Structure 1
Amino acid sequence: MTRYTITKKIAKHGNQAIIVIPRILEKRLKPGTIAQLTIDVLEEAESES
């Protein structure tokens, strides 16, 4: 098992919140790869009004 730690800002894609995988990991994390994600919220976003 290979482990990576990345800190990302959650992006918006239409009505969905997404996490974009860095291009440097693209070869390692191809579509269809199963990965386990643990999400620690470091800072809450401001409420959208």
Structure 2
Amino acid sequence: MKRQKRDRMERAHQRGYQAGIAGRSKEMCPYQTINQRSQWLGGWREAIGDRVLLA
């Protein structure tokens, strides 16, 4: 069970990162549960930071 939860959280983080790199707004987060939403936003923030460094 723990592995499935971790995989879901990792997937949410990766999808948030991809959204951030693509320049999407953080309001476009598709997740409703607090844990997945938090992971998505964490990935999104990381990508925004990376975009600033790459520019």
The normalised TM-score by structure 2 is 0.28
Larger proportion of strand: 1
Larger proportion of helix: 2
Which structure has the greater CA radius of gyration? 1
The normalised TM-score by structure 1 is 0.29
